[in-house]
């Protein structure tokens, strides 16, 4: 069965990029700074917001570029999945293009509502292209803007789907 532990991407990228002659990447490391908000109400009474970083846009929207794109998209959580598109430079998008649910699981999210596991989804999912090398720009510009959207949408919970 050959069971191995999770791939350590921080260690792998350090080795790989240094073998290619790049300086080591300064990964975000937040020891002891984990924020915490306890649940205030049952999931069945809660509104769930969704943020996904896999470079998902909708047919009709402007696509992401790949050089620290500080934009995001609002995509209705009722969008048919065949209208979703994927653009990214740092992961193999083949599977996600075949089934965008793999990186923005709208079908499964809507099932949470129809099965009453949660009360409702936010009207829009927020998506961005997460291959942004400047963590400062993400922390100071992009993330606060998306948090403001979640607050405006009055979500109780948020799920983040990275790639």
Nearer to another protein, 116 or 154 (CB): 116
Pair of tokens at residue 145: 């803007």
Number of residues that this document lists for the chain: 163
Q: Which helix (H) or strand (E) holds 114?
A: helix 106-114
Nearer to another protein, 65 or 154 (CB): 65
Smallest gap from residue 66 Cβ to another protein (A): 4
Q: Cα(95)–Cα(97) distance, rounded to whole angstroms? A: 5
Smallest gap from residue 10 Cβ to another protein (A): 5
Burial 33-61 (b: 16+ CB within 10 A, else e): eeeeeeeeeeeeebbbbbbbbbbbbbeee
Smallest gap from residue 120 Cβ to another protein (A): 14
């Amino acid at each position: 069965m050959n069971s191995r532990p999770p791939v350590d991407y921080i260690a792998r990228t350090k080795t790989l990029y240094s073998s290619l002659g790049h300086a080591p990447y300064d990964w975000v490391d937040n020891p002891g700074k984990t924020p915490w908000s306890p649940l205030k109400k049952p999931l069945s009474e809660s509104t769930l917001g969704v943020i996904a970083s896999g470079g998902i846009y909708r047919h009709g929207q402007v696509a992401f570029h790949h050089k620290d794109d500080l934009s995001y998209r609002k995509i209705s959580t009722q969008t048919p999945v065949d209208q979703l598109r994927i653009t990214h430079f740092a992961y193999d998008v083949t599977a996600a293009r075949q089934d965008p649910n793999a990186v923005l699981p709208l079908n499964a999210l809507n099932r949470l509502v129809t099965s009453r596991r949660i009360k409702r989804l936010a009207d829009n999912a927020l998506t961005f292209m997460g291959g942004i090398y400047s963590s400062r720009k993400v922390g100071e510009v992009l993330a606060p803007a998306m948090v403001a959207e979640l607050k405006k949408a009055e979500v109780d919970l948020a799920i983040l789907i990275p790639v």
